[in-house]
């Protein structure tokens, strides 16, 4: 399946890109998507993740066509 | 209810004036007894360093949706009559307003509690990220918001 | 700091705009991070009755001095950068703003707490009295403010 | 001594006047001033009192030239 990946803020700078399209098998979690999109890097602690713009956990399952985002703790307001 | 994320300069008092005019049917109904607002502005210092500018990034779509959810949750919980959230993104200078939260209610207790809760929820959950430009010319990402209660 | 008791119509957002302009040296210093405001407006109902108008009386001199004392106490306690209180007296109609309290601070926690404390202190201590004109044409003095915490 | 007395709001309406000038002996409390200004009426419960525009108690002493005010619970804001 195909999943769209986005990185924001400091994580975007660390990854050197603001997103990617990931091809992965039909059963995959957010953590699997991270591994493939990051080229096997360890997931930073405190990272926040979302599927289709809703917060989720790193073990949540991903479906084809989903938008998965990774970002650091938020600092608005 | 209005939620806006914008890279235009934010004048909170003009926005409030304009919003109350636009909502005059709902907000001029005799039911409003209390309006609590909060404006967050950019300081020229943080963690002991002078700060000369800021870049505010967000997650287009998710940020607006999340703010909308928070405003709806506050409206349900405190029985608000209306709520307004405007948040800046892009390049900011010291003294620039960053965020405006306003709530309209029949009673002051509810307005104070809802306004404060919305600000804390926004700061802990809404996808915004600040990068500070320091006096030295270096820049750094703000790593974490402090707790506000 | 500004304290005003007036029988002129109160537009809180224009007052805030004007005050920040007038205090631009102090409030544009890069130290302000938070502005919390509260506006109390006249409802068209109270204790189950329709209310068509209100007369607000005060104790000229004592009222202003007492508000000044409260603003100074809040400034000391929460380290505020500035505070503004404007309160209407005279004849009011439903939807008219009655009171504006605004505080400027470096941090949001202090601004929220100080603004709310000032409103509660004002309502429990400052010498103002409300007389309601009811739909029936009768009028009655409001006997007591409700607690706001 | 001479003391200036003021009444506000519902109390002003009940007394039928917004104030009075009271002549009284050199030693007097707020309660004494009330008795003379009201013509011997009982002081309403919950009444608030001030001397020279500062809150005080009903047993506080009054001095010549003082402004003493009586008023009901406040209802501003």
Contacts with B, C 18-57, CB within 8 Å? 20, 28-45
Average pLDDT over residues C21-37: 91
Q: DSSP string of B51-100?
A: EEEEEEEE-TTHHHHHHHHHHHHHHHHHT-SEEEEEEE-EEE-TT-EEEE
Q: Tell me if A10 sits within 8 A of A74, measured CB to CB.
A: no
Q: What is the mean pLDDT of chain C?
A: 96
> pLDDT tens-digit profile of C40-86?
999 999 988 999 999 999 999 999 999 999 999 999 999 999 999 99
Residue of B62, B119, B144 with shortest CB distance to A75: B144
The answer to whether the Cβ–Cβ distance between B41 and C28 falls below 8 Å is no
Q: DSSP string of A6-74?
A: EE-HHHHHHHTSSEEEEE--SSEEHHHHHHHHHTSPPPPTT-EEEETTEEE-TT-EE-TT-EEEEEPPP
> pLDDT tens-digit profile of B35-67?
999 999 999 999 889 999 999 999 999 999 999
Q: Which domains are delineated in chain D?
A: 2-71 (3.10.20.30)
Judged by a CB distance cut-off of 8 A, whether residue C131 touches chain B is: no
Average pLDDT over residues B24-34: 88
Residue of C61, C123, C141 with shortest CB distance to D9: C141
> pLDDT tens-digit profile of A5-59?
999 999 999 999 999 999 999 999 999 999 999 999 999 999 999 999 999 999 9
Tracing tokens 């602690």 back to the chain, one arrives at A45
Tracing tokens 């607690």 back to the chain, one arrives at C147
Residue of C56, C119, C141 with shortest CB distance to D10: C141
Report d(CA C96, CA B81) in Å as an integer. 16
Q: Tell me if B32 sits within 8 A of C12, measured CB to CB.
A: no
pLDDT of amino acid B13: 98
Confidence class of residue A73 from pLDDT cuts 50, 70 and 90? Answer: very high
Closest CA–CA distance from residue B22 to any residue of chain A (Å): 25
pLDDT of amino acid B27: 85
Report d(CA B94, CA A50) in Å as an integer. 32
Q: Which residues of D touch C4 (CB under 8 A)?
A: none
Q: Which residues of C touch D76 (CB under 8 A)?
A: 56, 58, 87, 98-99, 122-123, 126-130, 145
Confidence check: pLDDT of C146 > 90: no
> pLDDT tens-digit profile of D13-55?
999 999 999 999 999 999 999 999 999 999 999 999 999 999 9
Confidence check: pLDDT of B26 > 90: no
Q: Which domains are delineated in chain B?
A: 2-141 (3.90.1170.40)
Judged by a CB distance cut-off of 8 A, whether residue C140 touches chain B is: no
Q: For chain C, how big is the Rg over CA atoms in Å? A: 16
Tracing tokens 């030239």 back to the chain, one arrives at D65
Query: Comparing C-alpha atoms, which of D16, D35, D20 is closest to residue D67?
Result: D20
What three-state secondary structure class fits C38? strand
């Amino acid at each position: 399946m195909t999943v769209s990946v986005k990185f924001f803020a400091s994580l975007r700078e660390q990854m050197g890109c603001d997103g990617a399209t990931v091809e992965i098998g039909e059963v995959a979690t957010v953590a699997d998507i991270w591994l493939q999109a990051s080229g096997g890097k360890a997931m930073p602690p405190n990272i926040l993740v979302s599927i289709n713009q809703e917060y989720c956990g790193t073990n949540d399952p991903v479906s084809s066509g989903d938008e998965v985002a990774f970002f650091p703790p938020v600092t608005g307001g | 209810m209005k939620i806006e994320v914008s890279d235009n300069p934010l004048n909170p008092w003009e926005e409030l004036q304009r919003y109350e005019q636009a909502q005059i049917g709902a907000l001029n109904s005799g039911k409003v007894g209390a309006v609590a607002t909060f404006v967050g502005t950019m300081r020229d210092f943080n963690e002991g360093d002078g700060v000369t500018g800021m870049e505010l990034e967000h997650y287009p779509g998710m940020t607006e949706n999340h703010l909308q959810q928070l405003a709806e949750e506050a409206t349900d919980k405190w029985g608000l009559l209306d709520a307004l959230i405007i948040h800046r993104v892009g390049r900011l200078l010291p003294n620039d307003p960053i965020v405006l939260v306003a709530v309209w209610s029949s009673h002051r207790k509810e307005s104070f509690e809802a306004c404060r809760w919305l600000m804390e929820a926004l700061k802990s959950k809404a996808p915004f990220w600040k990068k500070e430009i320091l006096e030295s010319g270096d820049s750094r990402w703000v790593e974490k918001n402090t707790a506000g209660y």
